[in-house]
Structure 1
Amino acid sequence: MHLTHVPLRVATGAYILNSGVGKLRADEGTAQYLHGAAASTYPAVFKDMEPTKFTKLLAYSEIAVGAALLIPKVPATVAGAALTGFGASLMGLYFRTPSMTLEDGIRPSQEGIALAKDAWLVGGGLTLLTQGIAGATKSGVKSSKKAIRKATPFTG
């Protein structure tokens, strides 16, 4: 894990991990609320799923994303892709629920402020993802140069 990724990964990872652990103990009402929101936004995927099973799936997914961010051995590209996907699904919920936005369809309504702030998850995920790809590319170029130098005899 690159030192500059630590603040982003710890802050978002701890927050998401805690959210997932909290959902493991969700009551029936909470499960129905969470499932209803997801099923109305992504009906093809969640409409027929039982609310308690959906909530467990959501909880374990959040725990996995949070853990991926917190475990130093998980590459930035993997952690960033997980965070981007998670954040994008929340932004989908935000944009597809008419009551979440004002008439322009972008700015949050009072009800939508809680989800609109999750745009930072997408930004953080994309940051990790692009920095991970850039770092891997840079590392690959260095390795290739080193291999070429080693294989090419010096003819000075």
Structure 2
Amino acid sequence: MRIFARPHQIPPRVAAGVFILNSGIGKAEADEQTATGTHGMAVGTYPFLGKHDPRTFTDLLSKAEVALGVALLAPMVPSLVAGAALTAFAGGLIGLYLKTPGMRQEGSLKPTPAGLGLAKDVWLLGIGLGLVLEELGDRVASPYRGQ
């Protein structure tokens, strides 16, 4: 596994990392109403999250976003690891977009005005998948390189 990010991987990692880190820091300061809204939206798509109270859920989400943001920003975190974490996180966001009523136009993947904020998270999925596929592709193409 490559230890440092390659130079061309740094710009998308920084773009995603700064965005997610900022989101996590913002959630750390969330008031009760914001925590309840964040939790309610998540539970609507992922009912198993209902066992957490809104404040605990939002605190955990905040910590996860901060950790992911830092991992993306730290070039010593392997791109395969950072990309896999970003892909999983973005997959959850895309799940919210696809499963939450009112986010998409009826019978379409096109976002409604309310869904635009979640639909744009597809770029996070693209960055994560790009990092993972590049790193895995190198392993397939040259399994003995770097040994």
Q: Considering the TM-score relative to the shorter chain, is it more than 0.5?
A: yes
Alignment of 1:98-117 (within 5 A): 98-117=101-120
Alignment of 1:7-156 (within 5 A): 7-44=11-48, 46-138=49-141, 140-143=143-146
Bigger helix fraction: 1
Question: Once the 2 structures are TM-superposed, how far is the Cα of residue 90 of structure 1 from its aligned partner?
Answer: 0.4
- Aligned equivalents of 1:143, 1:2: Cα separation in 2: 14
**Which protein, 1 or 2, shows the higher relative CO under an 8 Å CA cutoff with sep ≥ 6?**
2
SS of the residue corresponding to residue 87 of structure 1 reads helix
Question: Once superposed, what is the RMSD of the aligned Cα atoms?
Answer: 1.3
- Aligned equivalents of 1:12, 1:143: Cα separation in 2: 28
- Aligned equivalents of 2:84, 2:32: Cα separation in 1: 31
Question: Once the 2 structures are TM-superposed, how far is the Cα of residue 138 of structure 1 from its aligned partner?
Answer: 4.7
Residue ranges of structure 1 left out of the alignment (5+ in a row): 145-156
Residue ranges of structure 2 left out of the alignment (5+ in a row): none
Question: Once the 2 structures are TM-superposed, how far is the Cα of residue 133 of structure 1 from its aligned partner?
Answer: 1.6
Taking structure 2 as the reference length, the TM-score comes to 0.92
Equivalent residues, number: 143
